[in-house]
Amino acid sequence: MSQTYTMTINGKAVSGAETFGVENPATGEVFAQAPNCTEAQLDEAVAAARAALPGWKATPIEKRRQALQAIAGVIAQNGEELARLLTREQGKPHPDAMGDVLGGAHWLVETAKLDIPEHVSEDSPERLAVTRYGPIGVVAAIVPWNFPIILMMFKVAPALLAGNTLVVKPAPTTPLTTLKIAELIRDILPPGVLNVISGADRLGPWLTAHKDIDKVSFTGSTETGKKVMASAAKDLKKVTLELGGNDAAIVMPDVDVKAVAEQLFWAAFRNAGQICIATKRMYIHKDVYEPLKAAIVDYAASVKVGDGAEQGTQIGPIQNKAQYERVLELIQDAKDKGYKFLIGGNSSNVPGYFVPVTILDNPPEDARIVQEEQFGPVLPLMSFDNIDEVVGRANASIYGLGASIWTKDLDRAQALAVQLQAGTVWINESQHLSPHAAFGGHKQSGVGVEGGQDGLLEFCQAQTVFMRRT
């Protein structure tokens, strides 16, 4: 694959008047330059999306479905190369990068199967009342750096299927694979339907403030989500916000310790803990606390942390310097407070943004590592005694993204699930998402949902036509 990265505006390759460097987080070295979109280029991208809207909206939905499938096909064909590039810019191990890339293709294929509903609420001799769902218009899709491809497709697939046109902005630290995919699929869609631009920190605020954007679909931190909502409020753009989380796992006393230890480990540490729906606090019943703690720490000691490009690596580096420093700061805070470390906690002397797998033993509930979203490979384990009390602890958060329950008693787990203030609850698994199910955050974890027909309708606006027959 060529090392020149261009934006896609109105179906054409557009270079940046300026560029910015993209680092490999495993080495800290800048290995490529990405275009730094100017305000004039942003205007061009939005104007192209606006001009393409009537044609795309009028394209029969069957043709739009075919376009999603064709995009998925091209991504899958180039999966290996795209995954290698993703590992280089994002840091994740190659198999996980394949999962992100092919997961994006899968999301397109499955979303293409969804239907846009039409509701007849009255069909009487006097009146016909029909509600139809049409596209909203020009959508700005803003994507974070932890899963650049699949999270982009959470937005692109339903937005295109519903007949919207888009301007997509990847995170400044992971723009390359996104730019490459846009280049590979340039001929599939009519010019202007899908524009992909990249830029430094200034670009996101420009995009959300742009007068000719109708909807902002944003995935990122809660703090940034508030800024996006404030900016969108100026001209009442529609918003979907997929934000941060502080997911609790609740482990009941009846679990098979040996069987769940590894699953619980990966619930927290996959992608170096940089997952919105990673387990970020683990509450373990006191009857199994000691053996499960020992089993998780034993397993943690066997896991290989390293450059994602090296075979056998299971956990890569933190994706960028700012996040690396934030995670180190939380570890330092835990040290300063004298919390007990079961494993990790040391900084490594190798280049790159590596943080060793770090597990804390029963820090207090008000510890920063318990209350804040760490978004890194650091996990607090805490014991509990009483189930009502632990539900209260799990729910005592500004976040409400996900939660998991681990037990053999499935009826009890179902009853417990509805008590948890979270948009998704998993029982005896974690992080599973489906293109056919709604995913979104309660409380400050988000506004609106992605996935399934609910997610598709977030890219539609309803129009009801009442027709008097007499």
Q: Which residues contribute to the site for ligand NAD (CB under 6 A)?
A: 142-146, 151, 169, 171-172, 204-205, 208, 219-221, 224, 227-228, 242-245, 276, 373, 375, 401, 441, 446
Nearer to ligand NAD (CB atom), residue 43 or residue 361? 43
The encoded tokens of residue 235 equal 């001209």
Q: CA-CA distance, 10 to 45, in Å (whole number)?
A: 7
Nearer to ligand NAD (CB atom), residue 67 or residue 268? 268
Nearer to ligand NAD (CB atom), residue 269 or residue 289? 269
Reply yes or no on whether 223 is catalytic: no
Mind spelling out the 3-state secondary structure of the chain?
A: CCCCCCEEECCEEECCCEEEEEEECCCCEEEEEEEECCHHHHHHHHHHHHHHHHHHHHCCHHHHHHHHHHHHHHHHHCHHHHHHHHHHHHCCCHHHHHHHHHHHHHHHHHHCCCCCCEEEEEECCCEEEEEEEEECCEEEEECCCCCHHHHHHHHHHHHHHCCCEEEEECCCCCCHHHHHHHHHCCCCCCCCCEEECCCCCCHHHHHHHCCCCCEEEEECCHHHHHHHHHHHHCCCCEEEEECCCCEEEEECCCCCHHHHHHHHHHHHHHHHHCCCCCEEEEEEEHHHHHHHHHHHHHHHHCCCECCCCCCCCCECCCCCHHHHHHHHHHHHHHHHCCCEEEECCCCCCCCCCCCCCEEEECCCCCCHHHHCCCCCCEEEEEEECCHHHHHHHHHCCCEECEEEEECCCHHHHHHHHCCCCCCEEEECCCCCCCCCCCEECEECCEECEECHHHHHHCCEEEEEEEEECC
Nearer to ligand NAD (CB atom), residue 297 or residue 447? 447
Nearer to ligand NAD (CB atom), residue 192 or residue 441? 441
Longest Cα–Cα distance of the chain, Å, equals 81
Nearer to ligand NAD (CB atom), residue 52 or residue 142? 142
Nearest distance from residue 134's CB to ligand NAD, in Å? Answer: 26
Nearer to ligand NAD (CB atom), residue 324 or residue 339? 324
Nearest distance from residue 373's CB to ligand NAD, in Å? Answer: 6
Closest-CA residue to 51 (of 9, 90, 13): 9
Are residues 469 and 126 in contact, defined by beta-carbon separation less than 8 angstroms?
A: yes
Nearer to ligand NAD (CB atom), residue 161 or residue 422? 422
Nearest distance from residue 376's CB to ligand NAD, in Å? Answer: 11
Indicate the pairing of strand 399-400 with strand 442-443: antiparallel
Nearest distance from residue 221's CB to ligand NAD, in Å? Answer: 4
Q: List own/partner pairs for 230-235 with CB under 8 A and 24 or more apart.
A: 231/205, 232/208, 234/209, 235/211
Of the candidates 44, 242, 373, 458, the residue annotated as catalytic is 242
Q: CA-CA distance, 267 to 245, in Å (whole number)?
A: 13
**Residues whose CB falls within 8 Å of the CB of residue 110, separated by 6 or more in sequence, listed in order:** 434, 435, 436
The residue nearest ligand NAD at its CB is 204
Nearer to ligand NAD (CB atom), residue 127 or residue 321? 321
- Residue located via tokens 């450059």: 307
Query: Which residues are known catalytic residues?
Result: 242
